[in-house]
Structure 1
Amino acid sequence: MGVMNELINPRVVGALERILAEASPGLRLPHLAETAGQLDELSLRERTDLLSGAMLADLPGDYAEAAAIFRRALADPDCAGWMIWPVSEAAVTLALARTGPGDFEDCLSLLAELTPRLTGEFAIRRLLAADLDRALAVIQGWTSHPDWHVRRLASEGTRAYLPWAIRVPEITARPAATLPILDALYRDPVEDVRRSVANHLNDLSRHAPDEVVAAAATWMAAPDANTPKVVRHGLRTLLKKAHPGALELLGFPPASLAVTAPRLDRAVVELPGELSFDFEVSNTGPAQARLAVDYVVHYAKANGSRAEKVFKLGTAVLGPGEARTFSKRHAFRQMTTRVHHSGGHALQLQVNGVRYPETGFTVVTG
């Protein structure tokens, strides 16, 4: 994250100070200026909070006055990039602390104005947490906004598990609350918006798999050329989990198959290393079979238990009596996102949601 932290640096602080001062002649920003020398060793989030707090100390304490300064600042094309995150956080803090009539809704509007310059998806979370229904009443209208950045904010900002963002418990408790936003956007002409819709749907699948499959089925009943891709991406976790409705919807119903045990090229994998394997799938039924082929690695944990992860291998279509050999190389190396431990592991095949017996092997971390 070191490089990411530098996205807010002394140059950004200086530019923000100049822009705000020009937007409000006579405004002094001593606390903001001081932050330029206080950024070392801070994460990107901590730098955001530092700048936001400094602005709150320097700007008028009234939300409407501060929002007016931020809007005037947007006249400067240099008011863009990562300085927008602390600006948006400061605006939300003022709107929630000293709410006047309409300040809540106006702050949402301000985030929509700021989002094309970077994003408002992080700051909006506190407004959602404060009053989800009140926020969604405004956000739903963004789904027809002429600027695709705002339409994307409607989906991305309301995701259950938005990376880097605070959680909004009510969104996970009420997964159907944001589905109307996705219903309005799944055929959006901009790929970035559609990708957000798919990721949002995938988030919801962790808590409401049946509702997610039902929504995807409705979309597939009224699709455009991009809808199948949106649905496949949105149901990816349910496919790995072998949810029957998701498999059926994407054309992978139960089939009569014979699957051989995977043939491993080695019994012991020394890190860093690779495990190669192959196996054969035969269609033993009387009809053509569409296959979603996955494999599961059961990783040894430090406490002696195991944790599994499903990996996509591919898809295939087999006619009656047809067989096909699949092969794969799987890498094992230490990563920040996965720490490997020595011990017994296992490989397991999953075809159309059906899992077959495990084949064991050993990992040695050295």
Structure 2
Amino acid sequence: MTDKITPVLLKDILGPQALTIIADAGVSVSTRFDRASFLGAASDGLSTLSIMERVRHIADALYSALPAGYVDALEIIRAMAPQLTHGFQAVAVTEFVARYGRGDFDRSMEALTDLTRFGSAEFAIRPFLAQDTERTLTVMKQWTSSTDEHVRRLASEGSRPRLPWASRIPSLMVEPTRTASILEALKADPSAYVRKSVANHLNDIAKGRPDWLLDRLAGWSTDNPDTAWIIRHALRTLIKKGEPRALALIGAGHGASVTVRLFSIEPQLVRLGDTIAIDAELVSTSPDDQRLVVDYRVNYARAGGKTAAKVFKLRTLDLSAGKSATLGLRQAIRDFSTRRHHPGHHEVELIVNGVTMASTAFEITSDPAAA
């Protein structure tokens, strides 16, 4: 019999072993770190908490184990960080600054620029942004000129309007101009780590202020390949929606002069866990070369006869006049924490430059003998 391997839950990254590593780091740098107090407080109730709840719980446990004064405690925290073995351990330690350092702004900002090198301080900066947005953004703008890519990334990632797992900053959701100077400063950053954050930040803005984003990006030169990369990835949500201005910014028109020679899914009857093959062939009907953004939309069956659509990227390509292109991929039909499959009819649409040009379908069955 084959043993089943249980996947590690994300929250278990901050499990008992991580607590021991954090405790060992504390006692190794200071005799004033109370190991027993930390382990007792951090272990209490840990098993029921999510990953971000554990981050906050560990930060509070650190408070019970450190000297009462913030200045002395922070000195120990900063000395502990290099000895941690996982980024999320450092995130938990950095959270101490967010929870107990808001009354000492300058010292806390200095600490975050140091701690973010070991585990991103993107979550720890959020309470400071909520408390004094303008003052914190002023410091974050200064971070964009740092020689350390981790600090530059923190300027963008920490101020994202829709940072996953983080608290929302209402003023940044409403008015993206407040972070515009940060994004401008990083729009040609040499680090892919930073550029990805900038693109994600801009994509956040696309979900609430698409016109603002399109106007801003229209003024950015694509001569620098790093800037061009950011623009393409920043526009991904709008491109999937077929937004004409977004398509134009990456050199594609709305709609395309092509015919669909093939669009198929095999097999068309599947069970959960199976893999489908999606294949397409496009033929140019244009006398000119054209850029094609090819996506596909799956209309997932839901309970009660409802459907929920999700657009996936297939390929972006340049198609020469009169030529054809064959595209294909394999997609596993399996459940995720963010998406569960239901038996029923699933229509799939082929989208070229924002326009649906063909459709097919597959069926998910719950009958083990049917597929």
State whether TM-score is above 0.5: yes
Counterpart amino acid of residue 78 in structure 1:
Q
> Which runs of structure 2 are paired with 1:310-329 in the superposition (5 Å)?
310-329=311-330
Distance 1:250 1:62, change over 3 A: same
Residue 53 (structure 1) aligns with: 60
Distance 1:3 1:281, change over 3 A: closer
Counterpart amino acid of residue 179 in structure 2:
T
Counterpart amino acid of residue 336 in structure 1:
S
Residue 94 (structure 1) aligns with: 100
Counterpart-to-counterpart distance in 1, 2:14 and 2:327 = 47
Counterpart-to-counterpart distance in 2, 1:59 and 1:233 = 43
Residue among 5, 8, 22 paired with 2:14 = 8
Residue 4 (structure 2) aligns with: none
Counterpart-to-counterpart distance in 1, 2:118 and 2:290 = 48
Q: How far off is 1:104 after superposition?
A: 2.1
CA offsets, 1:310-366, max 9 Å, x none?
Answer: 112213333444444444444322333321111122111111111235434422134
Q: How far off is 1:65 after superposition?
A: 4.2
Give structure 2 stretches of 5+ with no counterpart. Answer: 1-6
Counterpart amino acid of residue 83 in structure 2:
D
Counterpart-to-counterpart distance in 1, 2:213 and 2:24 = 47
Counterpart amino acid of residue 151 in structure 1:
R
Residue 356 (structure 1) aligns with: 357
Counterpart amino acid of residue 158 in structure 1:
S
Residue among 66, 84, 87 paired with 2:73 = 66
Give structure 1 stretches of 5+ with no counterpart. Answer: none
Q: Does the alignment pair 1:229 with 2:223?
A: no
> Which runs of structure 2 are paired with 1:242-281 in the superposition (5 Å)?
242-254=242-254, 255-259=256-260, 262-281=263-282
Q: Which SS does the other structure have where 1:84 is aligned?
A: helix
Higher mean alpha-carbon deviation, 58-67 vs 47-56, is at 58-67
CA offsets, 1:273-314, max 9 Å, x none?
Answer: 233344443333443222111111111111321111111221
Counterpart amino acid of residue 63 in structure 2:
L
> Which runs of structure 2 are paired with 1:1-366 in the superposition (5 Å)?
2-10=8-16, 12-17=18-23, 19-20=25-26, 25-26=31-32, 28=34, 30-35=36-41, 37-38=43-44, 39-71=46-78, 73=79, 77-78=82-83, 81=86, 82-96=88-102, 99=103, 103-221=104-222, 223-254=223-254, 255-259=256-260, 262-356=263-357, 358-366=359-367
Higher mean alpha-carbon deviation, 273-282 vs 120-129, is at 273-282
Q: Which SS does the other structure have where 2:308 is aligned?
A: strand
Counterpart-to-counterpart distance in 1, 2:326 and 2:274 = 23
How many residues were matched structurally?
358
Counterpart-to-counterpart distance in 2, 1:261 and 1:350 = 13
Q: Which SS does the other structure have where 1:133 is aligned?
A: helix
Q: Which SS does the other structure have where 1:356 is aligned?
A: strand
Counterpart-to-counterpart distance in 2, 1:234 and 1:46 = 30
Counterpart-to-counterpart distance in 2, 1:315 and 1:144 = 33
Q: Which SS does the other structure have where 1:144 is aligned?
A: coil
Counterpart-to-counterpart distance in 1, 2:262 and 2:185 = 45
TM-score of the pair, normalised by structure 1: 0.86
Counterpart amino acid of residue 225 in structure 2:
A
Counterpart-to-counterpart distance in 2, 1:3 and 1:270 = 25
Q: How far off is 1:212 after superposition?
A: 2.0
Asked if structure 2 preserves the Cα contact closer than 8 Å seen for 1:105 and 1:135, the reply is no
TM-score of the pair, normalised by structure 2: 0.85
